[in-house]
């Protein structure tokens, strides 16, 4: 028996021993062993940012660009701003829990910042158009409304 133990290299298991990754929780209790928590990882998952980080960044960029179009763009830009902020926060939470790659952290933060900037631009646009409408910049148009 001792000769067999000398021949066993480190990391190899003898006949009858159970490898930790083969032990299921129910089998571990029956065998009198403690179950180890094993996290499943996708190969290459650490190399890429999470999809929600990418969505957050894209929505943030589009929200700022949409505010260049006065009325319809402000509405679409607001929706994209909210989407950028929500997906950015969700991705940061996943990164904190270890469920997503930390490489998406910068994209998530950029998406949140651009989403907030999009909301600010939208509010500024609404104020500018409202003030211009009520102060008479568009007065000629509104005075002659039925005739146009």
- Report pLDDT for 134: 75
Please tell me the predicted confidence (pLDDT) of residue 92: 95
Q: How many C-alpha atoms does 56 have within 13 Å on its Cβ side?
A: 25
pLDDT in tens, the chain (148 residues): 555 555 444 455 455 554 555 445 555 555 555 656 665 555 554 568 889 999 999 999 999 999 888 777 788 999 999 999 999 999 999 999 988 888 999 999 999 999 999 999 989 888 888 887 777 666 666 666 666 5
For residue 27, CA distances in Å to 30, 32, 35 come to 5, 9, 9
Domain ranges in the chain?
Answer: 2-31, 45-135
DSSP assignment of 62-125 equals HHHHHTTSSSHHHHHHHHHHHHHHHHHHHHHHHHHHTSS-GGGHHHHHHHHHHHHHHHHHHHHH
Predicted TM-score of the model (pTM): 0.60
pLDDT at position 116, please?
96
Rounded Cα distance between 11 and 5, Å, is 12
């Amino acid at each position: 028996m001792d000769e067999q133990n000398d021949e066993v290299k480190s990391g190899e298991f003898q006949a009858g021993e159970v490898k930790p990754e083969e032990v299921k929780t129910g089998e571990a209790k029956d065998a009198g062993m403690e179950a180890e928590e094993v996290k499943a990882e996708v190969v290459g998952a650490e190399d890429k940012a999470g999809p929600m980080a990418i969505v957050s960044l894209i929505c943030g960029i589009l929200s700022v660009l949409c505010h260049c179009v006065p009325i319809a763009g402000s509405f679409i830009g607001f929706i994209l701003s909210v989407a950028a902020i929500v997906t950015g926060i969700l991705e940061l939470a996943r990164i904190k829990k270890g469920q997503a790659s930390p490489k998406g952290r910068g994209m998530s933060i950029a998406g949140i910042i651009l989403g907030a900037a999009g909301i600010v631009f939208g509010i500024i646009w609404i104020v500018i158009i409202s003030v211009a409408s009520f102060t008479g910049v568009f007065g000629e148009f509104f005075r002659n409304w039925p005739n146009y």
